[in-house]
Structure 1
Amino acid sequence: MENRETVLVLALILFTVAVQCEYDYENSNVFDLKEKVTHLHFYLFDILSGAKPSAVEVARPNITVGAKSATPFGHVYAIDDPLKDGPNADSKVIGNAQGLYLSSSQGDQLTLVMYADFGFTTGKFNGSSISVFSRNPVTETKRELAVVGGRGTFRMARGFAHVRTHYLNTTNGDAILEYKVTLLHY
């Protein structure tokens, strides 16, 4: 008897969900949207030193591994890095990058894996952001990071960011990075 009641209850739940889904369905054809291409150019200020750093270590391995550097292997950093329209300290802030990066190289080449949301707070992209999830071989002169999503103006974004180190202090880890981003979005 219990099995029949259980089956009946499950059948009612499935029927209710099926009926509810039919009435809650909204017909929005995403494929009618026109794809756009946007190019962005900005600078990211990643500051580990001083009284108010924009990147702080939040985790580390319990052993010492790899080369000595400002960002040793296995260390994880939380970031709230300002994005600016130029490479100077007094350049206009246009947004911030929030997320994490992991120092992922055991060798001499500093490599990070970055998971960050680049949010824009001024201009025509105010309230929009792009999501970057990619390997970042910091010591390479030119490198490319993957843009895997976005919101606001950059909804359903995909693309890439060419990154160049404008300034790097190898002692304390402070860096200014130039980003040239190409996005495909709707």
Structure 2
Amino acid sequence: MAKSTFNIAPVSALQKNELYFHLYLHHTPLGPNKNEADIVDPKLPNSFGSLSVNDWALYDELGTDAKVIARAQGLHVQTGMDDSQKYQNYLSIVVEDTRFKGSSLQVMGPDVEEGEWAIVGGTGEFCLAQGVIYKTFLKHQSDRNIMELDIHAFYSASSPVSSGPAK
């Protein structure tokens, strides 16, 4: 009998967990400790088409005792042709601390400072994550901006890969 190249199985009760994170993103585009860099500058009007890479630190609190919990690593592209400087962000939020170490949330959406980003996937403990990140601009300092992130997601309680394919 020939082996099937794919299998489909109904899922009657996929258990989900709910995740809340409250973190602070330090966006530092200037100075000696900058955490992003332009890698493509097409020299078009309004920086249209520019591409930057980022490794933004996410902290558990404000202040000197703040601890890096995760990093938002990825790209942002200037996609607006008008003066509004509209960027699209494509990120992996990779956890460095706690029991979630090494797990990630796959994130995309507009702008760094305000609005929302969509959580469109996840790895490790956050397998099959879906959710939203609400961003609020908190403060501007000479070399950085600080945003408050409220992360809300649902993810699978166990990786579908760990149990193997359906038979």
- Bucket of the pairwise TM-score, normalised by the shorter protein: 0.7 to 0.9
1:178 alignment partner in structure 2: 148
Judged with a 3 Å threshold, the aligned counterparts in structure 2 of structure 1 residues 110 and 165 are, in CA distance, closer, same or farther, namely farther
Measure, in 1, the Cα distance between the counterparts of 2:58 and 2:139.
Answer: 15
SS of the aligned residue for 1:127 comes to coil
For structure 2, which runs of at least 5 residues remain unmatched after alignment? 157-167
Q: Pick the structure with more helix per residue.
A: 1
Task: Give 1:21 shift.
Answer: 4.8
Q: Which has the larger radius of gyration?
A: 1
1:160 aligns with one of 126, 129, 132: 132
Judged with a 3 Å threshold, the aligned counterparts in structure 2 of structure 1 residues 28 and 125 are, in CA distance, closer, same or farther, namely farther
Measure, in 2, the Cα distance between the counterparts of 1:147 and 1:82.
Answer: 18
1:117 alignment partner in structure 2: 92
Aligned-pair identity in percent equals: 25
Q: Does 1:103 align with 2:78?
A: yes
Q: Does 1:133 align with 2:108?
A: yes
Q: Pick the structure with more strand per residue.
A: 2
For structure 1, which runs of at least 5 residues remain unmatched after alignment? 1-14, 67-71
For normalisation by structure 1, the TM-score amounts to 0.72
Runs of 4+ in 1 over 2 A off after TM superposition: 18-22, 27-33, 87-90, 103-111
Q: Does 1:48 align with 2:29?
A: yes
Task: Give 1:102 shift.
Answer: 1.2
User: Aligned letter for 1:168?
Assistant: H
Q: C-alpha deviations, 1:34-82, integer Å up to 9, x for none?
A: 112111110111211122311000111133x12xxxxx44321101111
Measure, in 2, the Cα distance between the counterparts of 1:31 and 1:61.
Answer: 51
Q: CA RMSD in A?
A: 2.7
SS of the aligned residue for 2:3 comes to helix
User: Aligned letter for 1:19?
Assistant: K
For normalisation by structure 2, the TM-score amounts to 0.79
2:161 alignment partner in structure 1: none
- 1:109–1:137 CA contact under 8 A, matched in 2: no
